[in-house]
Amino acid sequence: MRASSIAFVLWLNVVALAAQVPAAAPVAHPSDLGFSYSLPSDWEVVNAAPTLSGVKEQAQQNASTEDEKKGVACVQIALTARHGGPATVLVIVELPFACFGQTMSSKDLPGFAQGASEGIKQSFDVADPVYGDYVLGSHNMWIERAKGTPKGHPETPYTVEIACTLLKKGAVCWMALAASEDALKLIEGGAVALEGESPTALVPTTAFEKKPPSRSAATIQRESLPICRLAAVWLLPVQS
């Protein structure tokens, strides 16, 4: 697994924790990395923090290198939110460079982002992936959208979408498990402001017009940061 697979594993765990609670007031959710993201008022914001320490501790016990242990410790969940039933879930995950001890450049973004999408295949049957490469302000974005069903549950279809970018202080991915087209549009239309730039929709309608260069599995493996080789203990089935 690659660096961003940590993000996916955390995503699977917080999906299972998403409880039905009263909707929060409409608000932009800021991050210390220098971005904010807004969701509609009827989305439920979930506090996943109480369980993460145990998950990270178990993953660190299975990590084979100090870099992997550092990656486990450094990846954070900026926001977890859910909506509807069966639930659509959004998790924003981030890797602060100050914690990790190294930065990434634009050439690292495809490997980082596609590492996250590769992690999905451990718990989902994924089909018909499409990829895009677009720009928000001065920031390059990488995106993947695919059809997915939890392994063993083909009767529960979702759209899986991952959008990632690099900031000065860290890397961030929006990871969505959408149960309907309307829910996906709400996530994509959420206003994101990156490092002081004007807010704009997270995923524009033109996001898939430009295709990123094709990359082999070997290339992704070679160019991705080797901090996320975590054991299957991180993976939990996604419940609708």
Q: Is residue 201 part of a domain?
A: yes
Q: Is residue 50 part of a domain?
A: yes
Domain count, the chain: 1
Range of the domain at 175: 5-234
pTM: 0.80
Q: Is residue 208 part of a domain?
A: yes
Q: Sign of the C-alpha dihedral, residues 187, 232, 31, 172?
A: negative
Give the span between the Cα atoms of 61 and 67, in whole angstroms: 13
Q: Is residue 239 part of a domain?
A: no
Amino acid at 231: A
Neighbours of 125 (CB within 10 A): 14
Which two structure tokens, joined as six digits, stand for 15? 């999906």
Q: Is residue 36 part of a domain?
A: yes
Q: Is residue 240 part of a domain?
A: no
Residues in contact with 61: Cβ distance below 8 Å, sequence separation at least 6, in sequence order: none
C-alpha dist (Å) from residue 161 to 52, 69, 91, 140, 184: 23, 27, 11, 17, 8
> Dihedrals φ, ψ of 133, to 5°?
-140, 110
Q: Is residue 204 part of a domain?
A: yes
Smallest CA-to-CA distance from 148 within 129, 167, 172, 174 is with: 129
**Residue pointed to by tokens 């995923």:** 203
Q: Going residue by residue through the chain (240 aa), what tens digit of pLDDT does each one get?
A: 455 566 666 666 656 555 444 544 557 899 999 999 999 888 888 876 666 666 667 666 766 667 667 767 788 888 888 888 888 988 888 889 999 888 888 888 887 777 666 667 777 888 999 999 999 999 999 999 999 888 888 888 999 999 999 999 999 999 899 999 999 999 999 999 999 999 999 999 999 998 877 655 555 544 444 333 332 223 333 334
Q: Domain of 23: which CATH number?
A: 3.40.1000.10
